[in-house]
Amino acid sequence: MRYPRLLAAIPGRVYLLVAVILFAASNSVVRLLTDLGQAHLMDGRNPITFCNVLFVGNLCALLALIALYYPQLQWTQIKPLTKKDWLGLLGVSILAGAIAPALFFKALELTDVNNVVLISRVEPPLGLALAVWFLGSPINRWVGVGAAISFLGVFLAIVWPSAQGDGMPWLEMTIGRGELLAVLGAVAAAIATIISKLSLNAISFGIFNVLRTAIATILFFVVGTVLFGIEHFMDAFSPFVWQWMMIYGLVIVVAGQLSWFEGLKRTTASDVSLISSFSPIAGVFAAYLLLGEVPTLAQYIGGGVIILGMMINQVGVVKLSESRQVAPSLAFQKRLDADAGTGFKGL
């Protein structure tokens, strides 16, 4: 009885901070795992590929979500879902559960972790722009300016290295495949959030997360099997992969998700926005500690501008939360906004 009381006494902000740190470290941990697999080849193959990490990671996430939301997983709550709901779930599962993680994981194979961490921050401002455009979501000047500055920071993180050359550097911008895949991953995640808001407001957040993860896991396995053959996943269930994926799954996926959802229940939207603003700092710091990646000048400049934009955005979020209360019917959208604000969670 002592431990539940201790856990209940922990402030919601602490849960959110733990979750943000774990999610921010996920990119570096994935790179460590793939490097580890490269050093322990099986018949000339790296057993810890991004496909195996994504597939097994989704399985771990699914088990954690089922345990967390088991009381909501009743047929009486699933049966009323309409065709529109299922189509929306399918679209979100494809974009946010399969395409976006696959793009982020592939980007990690091709570029620095710091680049993926910073470039993926294009998701929140892009999601905000899409929400205003398609949904007419209310914002104030602070939120809009903060989002624009954050987007500028992502742009600087990409363009600044070309500014070190001669001639007209701003016309010589180049973007590598890894950076491009990270941008596309952020775009896919932002579109998935908009689809969720447009078509899935009637679904409870627990059922939404469980069904999305289940559908994404099945789709990813089926598509991978069709494109690459069943042998593509032949190492996914090897003891070597699972001994490391259990650590990844339990620490990053399970502990991160449980801390995140517990924090969401105990905090306000402004608290979530404030703590999520530490995500890029935590991601860069994790890359330095775990991989020895020292930020470049471009990453320092772009990251600084991104953090400035997030601070300004935080002022706007606080003002919005003071001016209006979130109605119960908007609870689903509030939690989607919170999820989008943290960026990629390593799933």
What pLDDT digit, counting tens, does each position of 231-278 carry?
777 787 788 887 787 777 778 777 887 788 788 777 776 677 777 778
Q: How far is CA 131 from CA 43, 136, 209, 230, in A?
A: 48, 6, 20, 39
Check if the beta carbon of residue 140 is closer than 8 Å to that of residue 155. Answer: no
Identify the three-state secondary structure at position 111: coil
Which residue, among 277, 293, 302, 307, has the nearest Cα to 114 in the 3D structure?
293
Which residue, among 220, 180, 212, 184, has the nearest Cα to 53 in the 3D structure?
220
Q: Does position 331 have pLDDT exceeding 60, yes or no?
A: no
DSSP string, 66-105: HHHHGGG--HHHHTT--HHHHHHHHHHIIIIIIIHHHHHH
pLDDT, the chain, mean: 76
Q: How confident is the model at residue 3 (pLDDT cuts 50, 70, 90)?
A: very low
pLDDT digits (tens, 9 = 90+) for 54-79: 788 778 778 877 887 787 788 777 78
Check if the beta carbon of residue 346 is closer than 8 Å to that of residue 29. Answer: yes
Q: Average pLDDT of 170-181?
A: 68
Of 40-49, 65-74, 146-155, 265-274, the least confident: 265-274
Q: How confident is the model at residue 173 (pLDDT cuts 50, 70, 90)?
A: low
Of 101-110, 155-164, 290-299, the least confident: 155-164
- pLDDT of res. 211: 84
- pLDDT of res. 153: 84
How far apart (Å, rounded) are the C-alpha atoms in residues 179 and 5? 45
- pLDDT of res. 168: 47
Check if the beta carbon of residue 30 is closer than 8 Å to that of residue 108. Answer: yes
How far apart (Å, rounded) are the C-alpha atoms in residues 170 and 173? 6
Higher pLDDT, 139 or 23: 23
Give me 40's structure tokens: 């322990």
Q: How many CB atoms lie within 10 A of CB 83?
A: 7
- pLDDT of res. 1: 44
How far apart (Å, rounded) are the C-alpha atoms in residues 221 and 217? 6
Q: How confident is the model at residue 169 (pLDDT cuts 50, 70, 90)?
A: very low
How far apart (Å, rounded) are the C-alpha atoms in residues 101 and 342? 14
State the greatest distance between any 2 C-alpha atoms of the chain, in Å, as a whole number: 69
Identify the three-state secondary structure at position 206: helix
pTM to 2 decimals?
Answer: 0.76
Q: Does position 167 have pLDDT exceeding 50, yes or no?
A: no
Q: For 70-201, where are the alpha helices, taking DSSP H only?
A: 75-78, 83-92, 100-110, 113-119, 123-130, 141-159, 177-199
Identify the three-state secondary structure at position 49: coil
Higher pLDDT, 322 or 150: 150
Q: How confident is the model at residue 172 (pLDDT cuts 50, 70, 90)?
A: very low
Q: Highest mean pLDDT: which of 56-60, 90-94, 164-168, 264-268?
A: 90-94
Identify the three-state secondary structure at position 176: coil
Q: Does position 338 have pLDDT exceeding 60, yes or no?
A: no
Q: What is the phi/psi pair of residue 136, to 5°? A: 65, 30
Q: Does position 174 have pLDDT exceeding 70, yes or no?
A: no
Q: Which residue type sits at 144?
A: G
